[in-house]
Amino acid sequence: MTAKGKSESRTFAPLAHRDDLDAFRNEVRNWLGAVVPEGWFARSAGAPEADYLAFQRWWLGEMQKVGLATPHWPKDWGGEDLSLRHQVIVSEEMVRAGAPNPDLYVVSLYHLPATLFAHGAPAQRERYLKGVVERGEIWCQGFSEPNAGSDLAALRTRAERRGDVFVVNGQKVWSSFAAHANYCLLLARTDPNAPKKQAGISYFILDMKSPGVTVRRIKQMTGQSEFCELFFDDVEIPGENLIGAENAGWAIAQSTLSAERGLIIFDLAERMHAAFVREIAAVRAAAPAWWADAALRRTFVTHYGELQSLRLLIRRMLSELDENPEMGASALPPLIKIKWSELLRRHTDFWLAVGGLNAQEDAPPLTGGGHITGNRMQDFMSSYAWTIAGGANEIIKTLIAERTLGLPR
């Protein structure tokens, strides 16, 4: 797989048309038509990891050239202050064009800004948000530990203040993309004697090149090794890398997690919709054999309806956010996470039923294109990432029951 675009006949400037939504959409479409390499997705099948990384870097770079890598970020931090309506247009067009998903940068593009916008010091925003925009820095999230998963507040990784630095010892686990990351969003315990376990946690920026950091990959059931274990042995973090106040990390972590439960799903749901649209076009052209099976047809249509519900919920959330950008203001993110992840599991399972024995054949994974890739077993297995990560569904449902419905704890 080569990270090579088609020859560009002209430069594209979608942002020059920001005041006219139709013209903006048009220019995004033109740009994508010129830049997205033909057949990149099929070529991603089984490609070596180095190619995947190079391709992701190249793609982030292309998006940056036209100002569309971080268009909704504030101008001061390398963004374009673009409204969510513009962002919706960009995503719709990306999906329509079958453009790659910059999934290597998911923490850089979503979790990091969700954390720093609200809680970062100006110097941190300046340094690290620009680092993503200008240098394509990769971030990972170091929250979970072997004994602190659902009960994240039980985390034991210790950060002790010694003069100007914090000295970190402990272990993290399941940290996605950590093997490639430049930085880590790290939660560690600074006050082991706090009256509540939530009250003794602080939030740090960790440079992954710091002495004492060891990264070990963990192989997943899919055969890939995207998440890792992290070990810290007297790792020094400069005091200026503390985000927010000491021992105030728990509340900040909630901002990070809400990013996961809302915005990321928007793009993935649009990609699932695009897969439906392609399938429906195929049915119109010449109905595939499975379409003659009433049970399968009904399941397909049921899922289609559910996906439209999800897309509408997401749009409602986006307009709520447009009015009040503080993620906590919307009650919808946890609902969206449950709806998306459960639909994803059932829908990938539906494709297994359609695929029959063929779908059970071992085939190389397709990367960078969302969750409906056509490698049916891979898609099915990857759906667990959404029912377990970012707060398992059981935990999210309790949260909905208690916070939204007000049921007793």
Partner 1 sequence: MGEAVGTAELRESFREVLDDIVAAGCVRRHVDEGASRCAPLWTKAAELGWFALLTPESHGGLGLPRAAAAALYEELGRAAAPLPIAAALAATEIVSAFGSQAQQAQWLSRLAGGDAAAFSASGPALDDASLRLANAALFGETGDLLDGVEAALLLAPVRDGENLRWALIDAADLSMQRIALVDRTRSLARARLDGAPASVFSADAHAIARKLRIHMSIALACDSIGGAREVLAFTIAYLKTREQFGKPIGSFQALKHRCAEHLVAIEAASALLGEAVSRWERDDIEAELYALLIKAQACDVYAAVAEDAVQLHGGIGFTWEHMCHVYLKRAKLNQVLFGASAAYHDAAARLLAA
Contact residues for ligand FAD, defined by CB under 6 A: 140-144, 149-150, 174-176, 227, 384-385, 388-392, 394-395, 398
Residue 400 interacts with, from partner 1, ligand FAD, none (CB under 5-8 Å by kind): none
By CB under 8 A, residue 356 contacts partner 1: yes
User: Closest CB to ligand FAD among 165 and 392?
Assistant: 392
User: Closest CB to partner 1 among 162 and 217?
Assistant: 217
Minimum distance, C-beta of residue 405 to partner 1, in the bound complex (Å):
15
Question: Do 233 and 214 meet the contact criterion of CB atoms below 8 Å apart?
Answer: yes
Question: Do 230 and 215 meet the contact criterion of CB atoms below 8 Å apart?
Answer: yes
Closest among 77, 246, 45, 217 to 140, alpha carbons compared: 217
User: Closest CB to ligand FAD among 72 and 371?
Assistant: 371
Minimum distance, C-beta of residue 372 to partner 1, in the bound complex (Å):
17
Cα–Cα distance measured from residue 33 to residue 38, given in angstroms and rounded to the nearest whole number: 10
- CA 5 vs CA 47, 48, 136: distances in Å: 18, 19, 19
**249-261 and 263-285 helices, crossing angle to 10°:** 10
User: Closest CB to ligand FAD among 40 and 143?
Assistant: 143
Q: Is 81 left (phi over 0), alpha (psi -120 to 50) or beta?
A: left
User: Closest CB to partner 1 among 27 and 379?
Assistant: 379
Residue 141 interacts with, from partner 1, ligand FAD, none (CB under 5-8 Å by kind): ligand FAD
Residue with tokens 């309790």: 398
* Residue 54 per-residue DSSP state: H
Question: How open is the CA angle 179-183-185, to the nearest 5 degrees?
Answer: 105
Residue 362 interacts with, from partner 1, ligand FAD, none (CB under 5-8 Å by kind): partner 1
Strands 201-207 and 183-189, by their bridges, are antiparallel
Cα–Cα distance measured from residue 160 to residue 181, given in angstroms and rounded to the nearest whole number: 24
* String of contacts with partner 1 for each residue 359-398, x by CB under 8 A: xxxx--------------x--xx--xx-xxx--xxx--xx
By CB under 8 A, residue 350 contacts partner 1: no
DSSP for 265-297, written as a single string? HHHHHHHHHHHHHHHHHHHHHS--GGGG-HHHH
Residue 26 interacts with, from partner 1, ligand FAD, none (CB under 5-8 Å by kind): none
List 2, 20, 39, 147, residue binding partner 1 (CB under 8 A):
147
Q: Site residues for partner 1, window 290-329 (CB under 8 A)?
A: 293, 295-296
Measured in whole angstroms, the distance separating CA 167 from the mean position of its chain's CA atoms is 29
Number of amino acids touching partner 1 (CB under 8 A) = 38
Cα–Cα distance measured from residue 131 to residue 240, given in angstroms and rounded to the nearest whole number: 16
* String of contacts with partner 1 for each residue 218-237, x by CB under 8 A: xxxx-x--------------
Q: Which residues in this chain contact partner 1 in the complex, by CB under 8 A? A: 144, 147, 149-151, 154, 173-174, 218-221, 223, 293, 295-296, 345, 352-353, 356-357, 359-362, 377, 380-381, 384-385, 387-389, 392-394, 397-398
